[in-house]
Chains A and B, each alone.
Chain A
Amino acid sequence: MTEITEVPSPFCGIGTDDLTIKVDGVLLKVIENGCAVNTPAFEQPITDTHARVSGQEVSLEVAVAKAAELLKDTKLPLIGGCATDVNGMRGLLALADKAGAVIDNMNFTGARNNFLALQDSGWMNTTLAEVKNRCDLLLVVGTDVEAFAPRFFERYLWNKESMFLDDTSSREVIYLGRAPSGTASTSPTGKAAQVLPCAIEDLPEVIAVLRALVKKQPIRVTSVAGIAVADLQAIADKLLAATYGVVTWGAGALAFRQAELTVQTLSEMIKDINNQNTRCSGLPLAGKEGDQTANQVCGWTTGYPARTRFSSGYPEYDPFLNETKVLLENGEVDALVWVQAFNVNAVPPETSLPTIVVGRSGMTFTKEPDVFIPVGTPGIDHAGHAYRMDNVVAIRLKKLRDSGLPSTAEVLNAIEHAL
C-alpha cells in the first residue's frame, strides 16, 4: 500500500494537482483534497481487463485485428468521444488520417459556442493564476461553477494569499442568469454572491443590454427578462470600476440556440471595458472529457478544432456538418469508433453501425459493441498530458498503479498499423 501525493486530476478541468491517493493494488482511495467530481473518477474500480469481440473475451491482438477489419472497407468511419490524453489524441488523429475518418469530440457542440465567437471576432482571456492573484470582481454568466468544478472557489478565489489583493475575501462575485447550487461562492467572511437570475434563454437579451450599458448607450426600458436595468447598470459600473474584472461562462451551460452570439457579445464587452482604461478578461470554463486536449492536439495536427474529417485526404473542419448526432441521423457514416478513457458513463450513442469502443474499464453497454477494448485512464494507469480549462497549462499526469491496461495511444496505434 502506498500513498501518492500531489496527484494532478484530468477530470475536473481546473487542474487540481494536490490530491493524495492511497493505492492498494489496483484500488485507489482519495484521502486528501477530493471533490464530488474527482473522487469518484479516481476511485472507479477496474472491472474489465480483457478485450471482447462480440461479447467474447479475446486477446488484445485479436481485438485490434477485428477492429482493423471492421474499419478496412469503410467509406467514412466516425471516431467519436475523443476523450483521452495528448498521446491518445496523437494516435487517434493518425488513425483518422489513415482511415479517412471524421472525428468529433463529445463536448464540441458546447465548445462550438466559443469557437464560433473566437473565429469570428476573437477575445481577451486570462488563466487561473491571474484569477487567483488579480481578480477583484468575478461575473459568472449562466453557469453553476461549483457543480462544474467543486473546488474552483476554494483554489482560485478564496485562496488565503494573493500577490496583488490585500484581502481575497473582499472579492466580489456576481451571478447573472443562473443561481449557484451551493455556497462555494460565499466568501470566507460570509459575504454571499449577488445573484440576478433570469431564464437561461433570455441571457442573449440581458447580455446585450449589459454590453450597451458598458458602452454607455442609453437604454429606454427599465427591466429586461425580469432583471431591473438599474441592477445591470450597477454591474456595468462595477466592471468598469474593477481593477481586474473576470467574466466566466461554461459554453455548454449556455444551452440555447445560437449561444455563440452571447459568447461573442460577452467577449466584445470585455474588449470594450479594456478600451475604457481598466482591465477585464474572459475565462471560459472547460477541460472536461479531454475537450481542451482534443482541440489542442487536433489544432496543431490539422489547423482545426476536433470536429474535422479526413475523408478527402486532407482535414476539413465543419462545426455543424461533422457533428456525431448529425452524421448518425443522416446515415453519413458507416462505422463508429468511440474513444473515452476518462468516463465510464459516457457511452457511445446507440447505433446499428459496426461499433468499436476503446473505453475506460468499467464501461457498461445496453448493446454490446462489436469490439470493446478496455484501456487505462491517463493519470491513473499511465502517465500522460491533459489540458486544463484555461488551455495554456498542460498538466503532467502521473501513473498511480500497475493495472496492465493498455493506453489509448497503444491501442489506436496498433489499429492504425493493422489497417
Chain B
Amino acid sequence: MLIKLTGGIVYDPASGIDGQQQDIYIRDGRIIAKPADAVVDKEYDLKGKVVMSGAIDMHTHIGGGKGNIARTLLPEDHRQDPVHRSDITRSGCGHAMPSTFVTGYRYAEMGYTAGFEPAVLPNNARQAHMEMGDIPILDKGGYVMLGSDDYLLRMLTAKKDQKAINDYVAWTMTSAKAIGVKVVNPGGINAFKFNQRKLDLDEQNSHYGVTPREILRVLATAVKEIGVAHPLHVHGCNLGVPGNVQTTLDTIQGIGGLPMHLTHIQFHSYGTEGDFKFSSGAAQIAEAINRNKNITIDVGQILFGQTVTASGDNMRQHANHKHASPNKWVTMDIECDAGCGVVPFKYKDQNFVNALQWAIGLETFLLVDDPWRIFLTTDHPNGAPFTSYPHLIRLLMDRSFRNDVLATIHPEAQKMTTLASIEREYTLQEIAIMTRAGAARLIGLKDRGGLSAGNWADITVYTDNADRQKMFEKPDYVFKDGQLVVVDGKVVSTKWGTTHVVKPQFDASVEKGLKDYFDRYLTMKLGNFRISDDEITEDGRGSISVHPLQGDVA
C-alpha cells in the first residue's frame, strides 16, 4: 500500500524544513523517498494544510500507581466527563486524569502519537507498563526513578565507585524496561521516611549523610557514561517553595556541565520578593538556561481550573496537602524504593500565587532562546490536563490573546510579571521543534519526530488557522505508523503503539550484590523483580522498540 500526502506545507525541523510545500510517501508504516514508478493506492490532497510529524509528549503522567490513585480519589471529576463507547472505541472517563483508553484517543485527537511517563518506580514498573499497555494509538516509554532508593544511598555511603553505580543504573533500566532515568527530590523521598520534612541541595540525609548534590552528580554521570541519550531527568529539591529559584540555579551550577534535564521548572522558579514574599524567578532561570548548553528543561505550565497533582515527591506533596482542593489527599512510602503523593489542586486566576505561577511558566517559555532545549508540558496532570495543550500553544503564539488573558488575572500578580512587555510569539517551526523534533532528539528516538524517509509515518495534518487553539485541537488527519487514526479531530481507527526502551549493558556481577540485598531486605526475589520482554508482548498487542546508546555502532 502506497500512500501519498500531496502538496502540504511541511514543518520538519529534524530536516531543517520550515514551511515548504512537499509531498510525502508512506509505505509499510514508514515514510519513503518518492518511488520511481509505483502506483499510489491512496492520495490525500493537503494543499494549503500544515503538516508536522506526530507530536511527542516527553513528560506526562500516563502510567503507574500514583495516577491510578489519582483516578480512584476523584470519582466526582470523572462524572463530569463521561466518555461513551463506540463501535471502534472503548468507554472511559476524561478530564483531569483520564482512563487509559481515553488518554490514547484524546492525545491522538490532538495530533500526538507518543507519550513518556517520567516517574516509573522500579517496584511499580510493571504497573506503569501495564497501564501504558492499555493506552491505544500512542507509543510510550518510561524514565525509571532512582535517587531515593536505599540501594543507591547505601552504595554512596559505602563509597562505591562510579563503575559500580553505572552497572546498577544500567541493570535497573534494563529490568524496568526504561528509556531514561529520573530523579525526584534527590534523596528527599528517602529522607521523608526518616521524618525529614525538607532537604536542600547541600543538606544531608540524616541516615546516610548523602546530599542531593552528590546524588545528582553520580546519576548524571552514570546516565552519560552508560550512553543513554536522554540526560538525567531531574525534578529538583524544594518543589513549590518560595525562594527555590536559588536552589535551581545552584543545581545547574552543581552539575558541572553534565547533561541534565530539569523538569517542570516552573515549579522551581520562585523568588521571595514583593508584598506576598512570592515572585518570579523566570528571568534568572531563563538566563541560566541560555548560558548553560548542557541543560534542557520542560516547563510544567499551570493553567486555571481543577486538576490533580500526582508526584513521586511525597515529602513536598505532604507539605502541600494543606492546599488540597477538594480536601483529600494521599501519600505513600514505597518499598525502600520511592514514594508518591497525590493532592487535588484547583488553580485559580484570582489567587495571587496561582496567577503568578501561570505567568512564571509563560515567562520561561518566552525568555528561553533555544526551542531545542525547552519542551511544552503541563506536567500532566499536575499543572493542567494534557488536553489544555492547544490553549497553551495559543498563549505562546498569540501575544494579543496572551495579554488579554493576562489582564484578567489577579491584579497583584499582573504587577509582578514582565509578561506584558514580552513581544515574542512562537512560530509554527518553533512549536514543531518543542513538540516533535526536539522531543525525539532529547529522548533518543532514532526514527520518530521527523518526516524524512526512514522515519515511521507518525504524521499530523492541520488546517492553518489564526486561532492557534482551534488549529491545534482539531487536526484534519493523524497517521500513526502510516495508519489513518484521526480525521477532523475524531478517532476513526485504533491500533497499538510500541514501547520505547534502551538496553544498556552492565557487568553481570552486579546481580550478586543485588540478590543478597533483595533476599535480606526486600519482599521479592530478584528473579521475580526483572520484567521480561514477554510481559509487554504476550497479549499480542504490545511490542518493544530498542533504541541505540550513544557510542553504539549503528
Chain A positions near chain B (C-beta within 8 angstroms): 6, 8, 15, 17-18, 86-87, 90, 94, 97-98, 115, 118-130, 132-134, 155-156, 160-164, 243-244, 274, 277-279, 281, 295-297, 299-305, 310, 312-317, 383, 385, 391-396, 409
B330 within 8 A of A: yes
Contact A302 B335 (CB under 8 A): no
B328 within 8 A of A: yes
Q: Tell me the minimal C-beta distance from A328 to chain B in angstroms.
A: 24
Contact A392 B127 (CB under 8 A): yes
Residues of A near B538 (CB, < 8 A) are 383
Number of A-B contacts (CB under 8 A): 192
Contact B73 A118 (CB under 8 A): yes
Contact B85 A302 (CB under 8 A): no
Contact A127 B91 (CB under 8 A): no
B78-125 CB contacts (< 8 Å) to partner A:
78, 82-85, 90-93, 97-101, 121, 123-124
Residues of A near B329 (CB, < 8 A) are 122
User: Which 8 A-B pairs have CB atoms at the shortest separation, nearest pair first?
Assistant: A303-B93, A314-B82, A303-B78, A122-B328, A129-B335, A394-B126, A122-B329, A313-B84
Residues of B near A302 (CB, < 8 A) are 91-93, 99
- Of the stretches B364-372, B468-476, B521-529, the one at the interface is B521-529
Besides A90-B539, A128-B335, A303-B99, 14 more A-B contacts (Cβ < 8 Å) are: A87-B539, A90-B134, A94-B90, A122-B324, A125-B333, A130-B334, A278-B195, A281-B333, A300-B99, A300-B131, A303-B78, A314-B85, A314-B91, A315-B92
- Of the stretches B18-26, B64-72, B274-282, B412-420, the one at the interface is B64-72
Q: Tell me the minimal C-beta distance from A309 to chain B in angstroms.
A: 11
Contact B528 A301 (CB under 8 A): no
Option from A87, A97, A303 in Cβ contact (under 8 Å) with B90: A97
Residues of A near B520 (CB, < 8 A) are 160-161
B283 within 8 A of A: no
Q: Tell me the minimal C-beta distance from B193 to chain A in angstroms.
A: 7
Contact B328 A394 (CB under 8 A): no
Contact A315 B82 (CB under 8 A): yes
- Whether A134 contacts B193 in the complex (CB less than 8 A), given A304-B78, A385-B130, comes out as yes
Contact A164 B207 (CB under 8 A): yes
Chain B positions near chain A (C-beta within 8 angstroms): 65, 67-68, 71-75, 78, 82-85, 90-93, 97-101, 121, 123-124, 126-127, 130-131, 134, 150, 154, 192-195, 207, 318, 324, 327-337, 342, 520-525, 527-528, 531-532, 534-535, 538-539
Residues of B near A274 (CB, < 8 A) are 318
Q: Tell me the minimal C-beta distance from B345 to chain A in angstroms.
A: 14
Contact A303 B75 (CB under 8 A): yes
- Whether A303 contacts B92 in the complex (CB less than 8 A), given A124-B332, A129-B335, A163-B336, comes out as yes
Contact B535 A396 (CB under 8 A): yes
Contact B522 A129 (CB under 8 A): yes
Residues of A near B126 (CB, < 8 A) are 385, 393-394, 396
Residues of A near B73 (CB, < 8 A) are 118-119, 122
Contact B127 A394 (CB under 8 A): yes
